[in-house]
Structure 1
């Protein structure tokens, strides 16, 4: 039976997942309704998808759905998740879990056995699958260190201007929560749990989110170095996750390019089937939605778990707590 997906929040992520859901196999998953309290968002939704069911409230959306996708600002995540779970629905949530780490921990205890997952798309990434294959094939050998580099021309990125009110605030926003979290999840998923050794974060503009972050983390016997900043690249968004071993080096570049270091030339070479993020994203979201359907039906899937999301948030908030002026 087709899963009825309800979407709360018609911002960037809500729109992306809605488009993916509308294009999905209707025998597997369909859209029950969408809810956003903003009149402007409702007008845009009606224009983008004439005939779409627009719920009048979050409660109405939850009632109409088998699974609720929460894509509203972070402060609303847990109240909505609790309401949906109390109504017996499955929940697929954006990160971070909460703006209050203690509440996130409490929720993790409450919802330990719930049908709940978090939208970290690296769980369905073709490029990440390629990295894992290379590791399994022995390309890397024994891992020696990990490097994470994150850069932006400006923050928020140009396509996020509608969310600047919270996305550039120190309480809910910032690139460490929004972007670095994905690469911490990738490290956890690929290599195991992390420990924060040291961090330095700069908040030079009062009332705004961080502009630079540097952190040293570690896995057992494996150092992880993180560097990120705003105004350090001419690209809107540039990132690398690099795994260096005693036999070789591999990396993920700009979200979707799996690459191997050619030791003869000293250059990274893309996997033959690598595609840019704009083309990879809808394919990855389709894979995520297949797993959302499985989650809702109680079947096996490998979406990011509540425990993984909590671990990521704990690392993110520990890094941000080392703030400098």
Structure 2
């Protein structure tokens, strides 16, 4: 088996920590963390507690120099500058979404990256989800027959979610944050992968005022020509978040619920989950292990299932079109 890929991490917030833990605990055969950079003293303290032997390097440039693949988990405005620096140094890049704050900047970045054959991917974990694999298997078995409609619903007790409060200064703002970019984008990626190209038909957005992010959205889309309805709202559930992705056809229906439960509509009218279904907190390490295996393959120039830069751009185009409809 080839040697693990040297992985650098820039941004040691929630996502940076999650990926590092997955790398250390579940994916040592695929990646070897070599350095982290985050300007926050709190981040340095957390890193020292989690991985005492892993250095908090003194700059982004030092992390890029040390790694073969750079994971960018910084806020969105920093994504492209860091990715361009890494690609310019001959590294592969693994980015959080969205690609950029500016859609024009994202388009330009993807065009340039594709032109040079850059090794790049975006962290949409559903690319490696066992629950999504189960949905695909059910579809192949004919669980729905020819798909007729898709419904996507997301709901939150508050935004940002309780575990995201450290990132609230940007996640709660219209410029970079909001649940459409942060959460709905995952389900649009899933839709694109399962059904085909996305096209927005109409959308409405509720803004609370000032520069705060959206509190509700409604949209109609098509995916590969199939009708899609999308609804999201803050304050309509007691859960941190609740979501469903429901595909229907003449033979039945299947859905993904709360990120990790693959469920099939039974003859009794009830939803029945896959036998090996797990809650998201237990499923996440398996998903991230798959993502890191894909990262290693991508870095070596091998085939992988990670979200491409082009797929991430297509998702961002739809997300920003939805948000623009409410302005």
Moved more, 22-31 or 282-291: 22-31
> Cα RMSD between the aligned structures?
1.0
Q: CA deviation at 1:205?
A: 3.1
Q: CA deviation at 1:39?
A: 1.9
**Counterpart for residue 288 of structure 2:** 285
2:297 to 284, 294, 297: 294
1:126 to 109, 115, 130: 130
Is the CA contact 2:5–2:31 (under 8 Å) kept in the aligned structure 1? yes
> Structure 2: any 5+ residue segments left out of the alignment?
none
> Structure 1: any 5+ residue segments left out of the alignment?
none
Distance in 1, matches of 2:197 and 2:224, equals 9
Structure-2 change in CA distance of 1:27 and 1:275 (3 Å): closer
Q: Secondary structure at the match of 2:148?
A: strand
2:40 to 38, 41, 51: 38
Distance in 2, matches of 1:285 and 1:44, equals 20
1:271 to 263, 274, 280: 274
Q: Secondary structure at the match of 1:68?
A: strand
2:95 to 93, 96, 108: 93
**Counterpart for residue 166 of structure 2:** 162
The number of residues matched between the two structures is 323
**Counterpart for residue 116 of structure 1:** 120
In the TM superposition, 1:37-186 aligns within 5 A as 37-112=39-114, 113-186=117-190
Is the CA contact 2:192–2:223 (under 8 Å) kept in the aligned structure 1? no
**Does 2:308 align with 1:305?**
yes
Is the CA contact 1:120–1:185 (under 8 Å) kept in the aligned structure 2? yes
Is the CA contact 1:24–1:30 (under 8 Å) kept in the aligned structure 2? no
Is the CA contact 2:26–2:285 (under 8 Å) kept in the aligned structure 1? no
Moved more, 44-53 or 308-317: 44-53
Distance in 1, matches of 2:29 and 2:73, equals 24
Question: CA offsets per residue over residues 8-46 of structure 1, 9 Å max, x none?
Answer: 011000000000111245343110101101122112222
4+ runs of 1 displaced by more than 2 Å?
24-28
Q: Secondary structure at the match of 2:239?
A: coil
Distance in 2, matches of 1:319 and 1:179, equals 13
Q: CA deviation at 1:2?
A: 2.0
Distance in 2, matches of 1:311 and 1:187, equals 11
Moved more, 24-33 or 80-89: 24-33
Is the CA contact 2:27–2:289 (under 8 Å) kept in the aligned structure 1? no
